[in-house]
Amino acid sequence: MKTITNILLLAVSLVIIGCSKHHDSRIHVREGLGSDSLGSNIVTRPVAHAFSALVGDGIEITQAVTRRNDAGMLELQVDGYNSSYKTKRFRYRVEWLDEQGMLIQTKTSVWLPASAMGKSPFSLKAVAPRTEAVNFRMDTRKWE
Amino acid sequence: MKTTITRIITVLGILICGCNQGTENIDIMHDDAKAVMELDYRDFDQAASEMVQSMLGSGALKKDDGSRYVVTTARIINDTMQRIDTDQLMAKIEEELMNSGQVVMTSAVGGKGASDKMVYEVREIRDSDVGDEFQEDTLQKKRQLIAPELSIAGKIFQRNIRYDKKRQQVEYYFQLKVTDLKTGLRFWQKESLIGKRGSNKSVSW
């Protein structure tokens, strides 16, 4: 019994190692196009997808980068990753704050649509409409 | 018998009251209502926000000497099947551009004529007999108006596509461009697309 368990563990490990190929992180090869992984293999896919849904995989924000452009406006780029296997459609709103942390009233702070495909990275960009903006806050919600 | 009729009337009354949809104000900050096939305020907000962010992010409105461009809104053509006042889009854009501190809008020249007719009406008064009634130094002198340097022109158009037997796809394109009036060169341009898919029964005009 122990031997069978060991063999099974070894087989699973080999499959996992065999499936994990190191791509250039800047290039994303989608399911059905690249080599099979546990999540895309025809046998293991339903289990992986069900498990992902069960644990509630969703969108994760990896970093937010700001810089001031030539015109003196603050630019924001938010990078994230959709851990789910499903495309996540959502809305986001960026609000800009001045040096004192006061909200800058602007017509550009509206809910904008965004979408991230399953198991894919995504980026959102926003530009502050005033030079007074030094910071931001961002809100998200589900696409109705 | 009388009791039964009373019960029926009561039930009908409750049903009628239940069906009556009361009027409510829209929470425009967090509107979770379903999308409509026509363009609504959320679509204009989205298009205006995308346009302004692109315009300001491009640096096209930044003058090298630090001064502000004088900008006018030229013709914005509504080529959709809906009756749209294009000011619904441009008022937001103009407001944000002015608040950015990079441009100043002129009310003296525009695609629909002067956006404030008073600019010329006071001059007509100056040149008429009525002008004699005013203190001379309070009347506008000649050659005081400043001509625009940049112009914003654009178009909103619509494409209706049959998606399948029961659904249609409506695509709304918002196109804007900024032109330097001195040289005729185009400094900036953007297209923003809003697509909707819904029942054939929904009317998009």
Separation CA A124–CA A90 (nearest Å)? 12
pLDDT of residue A25: 78
B195 Cβ under 8 Å from any chain A Cβ: no
pLDDT of residue A10: 53
pLDDT of residue A8: 59
- The reply to whether B136 and B46 lie within a common domain is no
Residue B114 pLDDT more than 60? yes
Closest CA to A96 of A139, A133, A140: A133
Greatest alpha-carbon pair distance for chain A in Å reads: 70
**What are B195's strand-pairing partners?**
B171
Cross-chain residue pair A144–B35, CB shorter than 8 Å: yes
Confidence class of residue B53 from pLDDT cuts 50, 70 and 90?
Answer: very high
- The reply to whether B139 and B153 lie within a common domain is no
| Nearest-CA distance B46 → chain A (Å) | 6
**How many Cβ pairs within 8 Å bridge chains A and B?**
65
**Amino acid (1-letter code) at residue A25:** S
Chain A residue numbers with beta carbons less than 8 Å from the beta carbon of B101 are 130-131
Nearest Cβ partner for A108 among B30, B52, B62? B52
In a domain, B111, yes or no: no
According to DSSP, residue B205 is labeled -
Cβ burial of B132 (10 Å; 0-12, 13-18, 19+) is: exposed
- The reply to whether B153 and B175 lie within a common domain is yes
Alpha helices by DSSP H, A75-130 = none
DSSP-based three-state secondary structure for A131: coil
Q: How many domains does chain B have?
A: 2
B143: left (phi over 0), alpha (psi -120 to 50) or beta: left
Cross-chain residue pair B102–A71, CB shorter than 8 Å: yes
B178 Cβ under 8 Å from any chain A Cβ: no
For the beta carbon of residue A115, count every other beta carbon within 10 angstroms. 12
- The reply to whether B175 and B126 lie within a common domain is no
Quick one: how far is CA B142 from the chain centroid? 33
Identify the residue among A67, A107, A136, A144 best suited for mutation to test binding to B, counting B beta carbons within 10 A and taking the highest.
A107
- The reply to whether B157 and B180 lie within a common domain is yes
- The reply to whether B141 and B202 lie within a common domain is no
Confidence class of residue B15 from pLDDT cuts 50, 70 and 90?
Answer: low
In a domain, B58, yes or no: yes
A71 Cβ under 8 Å from any chain B Cβ: yes
- The reply to whether B152 and B97 lie within a common domain is yes
What percent of chain B shows pLDDT beyond 70?
Answer: 92
What percent of chain A shows pLDDT beyond 90?
Answer: 53
pLDDT of residue A20: 53
Confidence class of residue A107 from pLDDT cuts 50, 70 and 90?
Answer: very high
pLDDT tens-digit readout, A94-103: 999 999 999 9
In a domain, B43, yes or no: yes
Which has more pLDDT, A34 or B139?
B139
Separation CA A100–CA B110 (nearest Å)? 38
pLDDT tens-digit readout, B60-90: 999 989 899 999 999 999 999 999 999 999 9
In a domain, B12, yes or no: no
Domain limits at B180?
39-106+148-205
* Chain A residue nearest residue B41, CA to CA: A110
According to DSSP, residue B111 is labeled B
- The reply to whether B123 and B190 lie within a common domain is no
In degrees, to the nearest 5, what angle opens at C-alpha A124 toward C-alphas A123 and A129? 150
In a domain, B18, yes or no: no
Q: B152, B168 in Cβ contact below 8 A?
A: no
Residue-range domain boundaries for chain A: 1-56, 57-144
pLDDT tens-digit readout, A34-48: 787 777 777 887 888
Q: Helix axis angle, B41-58 relative to B87-99, nearest 10°?
A: 40
Q: What ipTM describes this predicted complex? A: 0.81
pTM above 0.90, yes or no: no
In a domain, B95, yes or no: yes
B189 Cβ under 8 Å from any chain A Cβ: no
pLDDT of residue A92: 96
- The reply to whether B63 and B90 lie within a common domain is yes
* Chain A residue nearest residue B57, CA to CA: A127
- The reply to whether B164 and B124 lie within a common domain is no
* Chain A residue nearest residue B50, CA to CA: A108
pLDDT of residue A64: 97
Separation CA A106–CA A129 (nearest Å)? 7
A127 Cβ under 8 Å from any chain B Cβ: yes
Residue B6 pLDDT more than 90? no
Cross-chain residue pair A126–B62, CB shorter than 8 Å: no
What is A57-144's CATH number, 3.40.50.300, 2.60.40.3230, 2.102.10.10, 3.30.420.10? 2.60.40.3230
Nearest Cβ partner for A144 among B34, B52, B57? B34
Structural tokens at position B26: 């829209």
In a domain, B98, yes or no: yes
- The reply to whether B85 and B62 lie within a common domain is yes
Q: Please state whether beta strands A135-142 and A88-97 pair in parallel, antiparallel, or not at all (unpaired).
A: antiparallel
User: What value does the mean pLDDT of chain B take?
Assistant: 91
pLDDT tens-digit readout, A8-67: 565 555 455 445 556 787 888 887 787 877 777 778 878 888 878 887 788 999 999 999
Q: A85, A133 in Cβ contact below 8 A?
A: no
Stretch (H or E) spanning B79: strand B69-79
Separation CA B84–CA B170 (nearest Å)? 16
- The reply to whether B46 and B134 lie within a common domain is no
In a domain, B45, yes or no: yes
A89 Cβ under 8 Å from any chain B Cβ: no
pLDDT of residue B67: 94
DSSP-based three-state secondary structure for A73: coil
pLDDT of residue B42: 94
Range A30-38 contact pairs with CB under 8 angstroms and sequence separation of 24 or more:
A30/A117, A30/A120, A31/A118, A31/A119
- CATH code at position B157: 3.40.50
> Phi, psi at residue A112, to the nearest 5°?
-110, 145
Nearest Cβ partner for B62 among A71, A111, A125? A71
